[in-house]
Chain A
Amino acid sequence: MSSQSPSLTTRKPGERIFCFLLVLGSVYLFWQAYKISGFSSLSSPGAFPLAASAAMVLASCITFLNTLKAPAAEDVRFVYHCFPPVVAFIMALILIYSVVLESLGFVLTSFVFLFISIQFLYRRSPLTTLAITLLSLIVVYIIFRLVFQVVLPEGIMPEREILSSITSLWR
């Protein structure tokens, strides 16, 4: 099994650490699976997770050993090829988005998120960005909130009041 990765002859920066973390994670999950019901019986709730996590431990160990043997790839830098700043920035942006989504509400957070990320990635005039942001937000809002009645987090905006006051204009 160990010599089965002919195409992965070199390793990227960070690969060894990643694979080692997977081994650690797998062992932890195996321990957690064991805690469910131990090795009590084949039909216990823990039997299947135990088998799956055992497979993870085994497979991750093999992969890790393979990366130990593989020579480092040349001319590949972690910060440039594997985890460029732009990826980190967007990841951070999404993280912030998901944390504040519930308290600020969907409309506000999405507006800010779209505006910043489009401005950052597309780099046109803020007005163009604003127009694209508003347009796409309106389309998403109509599809999800109005047509499919997914009540998106309202946060600080009294959406339902606004909606009912708008509909009451028609009545």
Chain B
Amino acid sequence: MKKTTIALLAALSLTSSLTLADYPTKDIQGIIQWGAGGSTDTVMRSIAPHVEKELGGDIILTNKTGGVGAIATKYVNAKKADGYTLLMGAENPQMYKILGLSNIDYSDMIAINVLARGTPIIVANNDAPFNTMQELIEYTKAHPGEVKFGSTGPGGLTSIVTAMLDSQVKLNYISIPYNGDGPALTALQGGAIDVMPAVLGATIEQIKAGRMKAISLVDVESNKLLPDLAPITDALPGMKSYLPWGPFFGVFVKKGTPDEAVEKLQAAFQKAAYNKDFVDLMQKRGFTIMNISGKEADYFLEAYRSTSSWLVHDAGFSKFSPEEFGIRKP
């Protein structure tokens, strides 16, 4: 016990003299919103070592799943605002307020870095009787209630892309929910569902191998990875008002964190996200590197929130109106 006491006293004296001058003085805990093996987990685990090098301290990564990420968000905001607890998350919190999941979203936190953005793509089973967006629309109209769309639950990427579609054309299809795009894409290959919107990175390898076919890219222009695939705006020009839109990965801290820590973290993440290994990794998986912080990040986050919130609200599956939270109409 004596030893512990000595170490304790030593530690206290150390921290009191060094707290502000030399962030970080202890391990930083990174709370990952999603489970091991998911895309958020993979992105965060691949950038963390580069950040550690920049910061000169360890980041302990912890997966804390549940409530579409709301539990991790709540946890980080319950901790001290000292810059030692980071939230490593995806786009989901931006929908929490209107879905009634939590009263905290990213606008109530400080963005350290919005690392990258994904592009949605619509893919179909190889045997599906359509190959382009136009054909998909015509076929669905000709066979109402027959085409099976995969979905990943309200508020997820698929629900927002289908909400975008619904705002343009009225389609009658069966929606079959899965928990996550992994299981849904597997079901797509097995023929349990016909079509589904997903993020490009999750489908690119399967498309290249010819295990599923790409129908349309949900963006305003084609992507380098699939140069022949037409953007959705060719078939539905009205979609331009929502795009470009896509899920993103970002790192956040609680409001009230000392500026010094925020600046150090922002600098470290910015440098790490420029690392060639990381950039290569992200591009190969079809993610667009953003690497933004500060005002730029806030602007991006706000734009995402307003587009998605109103889409979801207009599609009728929000619990509260975006107006209640002062989310402006896009």
Contact = CB atoms under 8 A, between A and B. Distances in A.
Interface string B56-78: 00001110000000000000000
B8 A164 contact: no
Interface of B: 4, 7-8, 10-12, 14-15, 25-27, 29, 60-62, 84
A59 B29 CA distance: 47
21 contacts: A149-B62, A150-B62, A158-B8, A160-B26, A160-B27, A160-B84, A161-B11, A161-B12, A161-B14, A161-B26, A162-B4, A162-B7, A162-B8, A163-B26, A163-B27, A164-B11, A164-B25, A164-B27, A165-B7, A166-B7, A168-B14
Given A150-B62, A151-B60, A160-B27, 9 more contacts: A149-B61, A158-B11, A161-B11, A161-B12, A161-B25, A164-B26, A164-B27, A165-B10, A168-B14
Task: Tell me the dominant secondary structure on chain A's binding face.
Answer: helix
Contacts, number: 37
A158 B15 contact: yes
Contacts of A161: 11-12, 14-15, 25-26
B84 A165 contact: no
Contacts of A150: 62
Interface in A130-170: 149-151, 157-158, 160-166, 168
A162 B4 CA distance: 9
A165 B62 contact: no
Contacts of B25: 161, 164
A160 B80 CA distance: 14
B81 to A, nearest CB: 16
A130 to B, nearest CB: 10
A165 B8 CA distance: 9
A165 B29 contact: no
Nearest to B15: A161
Contacts of B27: 160, 163-164
A126 B4 CA distance: 20
A164 B4 CA distance: 13
A151 B84 CA distance: 13
